[in-house]
Structure 1
Amino acid sequence: MNVHFTRIKQLAGCALVGVAAMLAAPAHAGVANLDSQAPMVYNHGEKFLDGGLNFTAQISAYVQSLGITDGLGGTILDGSNPNSCGAIIDCPAGNTSKYYAGWNDGSVDVQRGGGFYSLNSLRFSFFAPVGGQPDGSYGQLVLKATTADGSSVTRSADFAGQDGNGHFMFSTWKLDAEFAALHLTNLNISACLFDGNGGCQNMADWAPYAAQFAIDDLDVALPLPGSAPLLLAGLAGLAAMRRRRAQ
């Protein structure tokens, strides 16, 4: 009888090691580079798919609080076309491919249908409402993550300044190891503007609808196909072993 229980314990130990290995197994890496997207305008709630991720445009949270559920959320722009931003808006520099621009204090939600993902890095820029602004960092890109265990985590990084021609520049943000290890179920990306007193605000009183951003090349890690069923099978096996031990 003792030998029987010893073997069950060994099997359970092996199963636990297997589950731990599945949880720690490297995920499939991918990049949502938006290059397959056509230039497009996205209103509030409209979606597009790229790199295994679902993007949902959102208008300003303040505007939503007023009960408004319509309006421009963002656009896909072409960095290789100098006229992509129109006659007034100043396109960021340092990107000759497609990218997403969040407008008018809006944001974008990034999810993975049916599962979680992790974010390693992305490229980003300030999206100036008008050209000819003095050089400097005007604010931050803000990431508000919801994780698989229901917790909320926030990170922010300063926008880069301007190049020699006065265009705001794209830069690369490599997330810290703690954030990159999170299992994200939703990531809300927005912008804020510095208030001169140490704060950074979305929908700033002195510059309403000017917290705008551009993002590109989201480097993500996705769970390997089939890993979830394997994990469930391993957990089911452990449960069966426990029932046998109880008999």
Structure 2
Amino acid sequence: MNIQNILVIEDDPDIREGVRILMEGENFHVEEAVDGFEGLRKLSADIHLVILDVMMPGISGYKTCEEIRKKSNIPVLFLTAKDKESDKLLGLMSGGDDYLVKPFSYAELLARVKALLRRHLIYDKAGVEKQEQEETEEWIEWKNIRINMRTNIVYLNGREISLTEIEYKILLLLMKNSGKIFSVQNLYESVWDVPYLYTSGNTVMVHIRRLRKKIEQDPQNPKRIVSVWGKGYRFEKNG
């Protein structure tokens, strides 16, 4: 089994050490960075996941995540001392996949890390194989959107678009079940593969918003991924 590499960007040495010991005990290889600048220098194709602090000197975790997203779609898990919903939304809007509020339990941290890596492994493998599979795999197509059912290939108006693994999984789930209403809890547990918490609704909302910006002609007036008031979301194949 190949060892997976985790980059921990955190200015608190005690937290860095604790995370490193935990992850190395689970056979992960850990790279450490004391701030966003060092973290961006250490970011490479060999890194499989980033654990990123929000409040750091020099460059914030939000800005660091935005820079990571210019280079990579690897999972980013935020660690934050801020527990306001607006702060969590900022993290997700900057490109984060999930977040934990300090203080957190190491058991919860490990569960989030493993869930993110598990999804990314499937996504990454699909990306490597997509050239060979593109002509043979099944596709779903509704009007100007075409999505491969096994690889992370999505076309909009005949042009391939770049989706994160979570955006891809949300779109695939909704398109495969066009017209079906998915509650926020059902979406979260199906895509994130962890139990739903009361704060998870905002996580879903932010990723839906990001996905709409990529596939909707008018994201403020979506015709494809529509909200069903009080119930959830559904994909409109005739939208």
> Higher RCO, 1 or 2 (CA under 8 Å, sep at least 6)?
1
Give the helix-richer structure, 1 or 2.
Answer: 2
TM-score, reference length from structure 2: 0.24
TM-score, reference length from structure 1: 0.23
